[in-house]
Amino acid sequence: MANTSTLLEHEVVFFGGKGGVGKTTIASAFALFAADCGKRTLLVSTDPAHSTSDVLETSLSNIPQSVESNFWALEIDPSAEADRYITRVKNQIAEATAPRLASEVERQIDIARVAPGAEEAALFDRFTKIISEERKQFDLIVFDTAPTGQTLRLLTLPEQMSTWIGCLVDRRRKVNALGRMWRNVAGSSASGGDRKPDPVHEALEERRKRFETARKTLANSKRTAFSFVLIPERLPIWETKRAIEVLAKHDIAIGAIVVNRILPSDVDGEFMARRREQQSQYLERINQSFGSFRTHYVNLWESDVIGVADLRTLAKHIQFDPNS
Ligand SMILES: Nc1ncnc2c1ncn2[C@@H]1O[C@H](COP(=O)(O)OP(=O)(O)OP(=O)(O)O)[C@@H](O)[C@H]1O
Ligand SMILES: [Mg+2]
């Protein structure tokens, strides 16, 4: 799905792509550019490698940290997030479980903490909170994501999870209704216990609403856009094509394609001339495959892109907003 509006016109913008293609660099440059344009912008890194702190030359944590005027950033550490998530779940369950079961329930939750997928579930929980709640304090949220596969899973989860949670909410409602019926039959309804809020039902309902909000935000092409960063090589082109197909199935719109590390035309030598020739073939292929999307081209720099000054220079070169 092509998107005619510029990235700046969205509320949530993702940057994804293969490992090492420049996602963190481009996402940071875009977030800074948006902040400079007057948007209250939050840059969120879900990359466990913490490279956002490096490129911004500042230390970040899991809560928004002010970096520049209008510009905040946070880094989510999946492992720490999983620990916090497990503590929250334990507290919620402790309220709803009979004390004699508490130690067994705790043991089961501790096993779940080390099971495959626990960190992904925690990351997902935080991700939906940012999209549905923290977003209210900002005009724009920019996600610098981990390499493509993991991000796609994360983005397509709200749809599956809200259906699944919906089933759990229904089931809990039925259990409560059965309980009420049983107490009526047993003649104990006079206790008034029926009207007490059910913490399990409330927790499920809160999650269901949050996942639903996240899903609606992601599927709204006016509010959310996904941008791919790639380099003019065979595998990143192939992976980007595949990822665009997956996102289209989930109604997530593509905001822009950023082609990074293009060899400048004035680099010397026969070796470089051959590399350039090879790149120009891939650039042609990129144009054929992604020509319908807004595309930005970025030259390879002599050195790494580090710090706010470099990011501003890069953003100017990229021209995220042709009208600015
Ligand atoms: N156009 C460019 N010219 C020169 N160096 C660049 C350019 N774009 C990115 N880099 C450098 O390449 C390295 C990798 O970039 P970056 O960390 O942004 O990639 P990434 O896609 O986020 O990687 P990962 O998949 O590991 O998260 C960094 O050192 C960055 O400074
Ligand atoms: Mg990165």
The secondary structure element, H or E, covering residue 65 is strand 65-68
Residue 211's CATH number: 3.40.50.300
Q: How many domains does the chain have?
A: 1
CB 147 within 8 A of CB 17: yes
Is there an atom of ligand 1 within 6 Å of 210 CB? Answer: no
Tell me which residue has its CA closest to atom 8 in ligand 1: 22
CA of 50 to the centre of ligand 1 (A): 13
Q: How many helices (H) and strands (E) does the chain have?
A: 10, 8
| Tokens 């946070």, located at residue | 74
* 3-state DSSP assignment of residue 198: coil
Tell me which residue has its CA closest to atom 18 in ligand 1: 22
DSSP state of 233: S
Q: Is 153 domain-assigned?
A: yes
**Which of these, 81, 218, 84, 86, lies nearest to 143 by C-alpha position?**
218
Read off the tokens for 78: 């999946």
Instruction: Give the model's pLDDT for residue 29.
Output: 98
Give the nearest ligand 1 atom to 298 CA. 1
Q: Is 257 domain-assigned?
A: yes
Domain containing residue 152:
7-82+117-318
CA of 225 to the centre of ligand 1 (A): 21
Task: Enter the pTM of the model.
Answer: 0.86
Question: 177 or 83, which is more confident?
Answer: 83
Q: Is 97 domain-assigned?
A: no
Q: Is 267 domain-assigned?
A: yes
CA of 299 to the centre of ligand 1 (A): 12
Is there an atom of ligand 1 within 6 Å of 19 CB? Answer: yes
Rounded distance, CA 34 to CA 42, Å?
10
Q: Is 30 domain-assigned?
A: yes
CA dihedral 123, 125, 130, 133 (to 10 degrees): -170
**Which of these, 227, 317, 257, 312, lies nearest to 55 by C-alpha position?**
312
Is there an atom of ligand 1 within 6 Å of 38 CB? Answer: no
Q: Is 304 domain-assigned?
A: yes
23 falls in which pLDDT band (50, 70, 90)? very high
Residues in the chain: 324
**Which of these, 145, 142, 151, lies nearest to 43 by C-alpha position?**
142
Q: Is 101 domain-assigned?
A: no
- Give the tens place of pLDDT for each residue, 268-307: 889 999 999 999 999 999 999 999 999 999 999 999 999 9
Rounded distance, CA 243 to CA 239, Å?
6
Q: Is 106 domain-assigned?
A: no
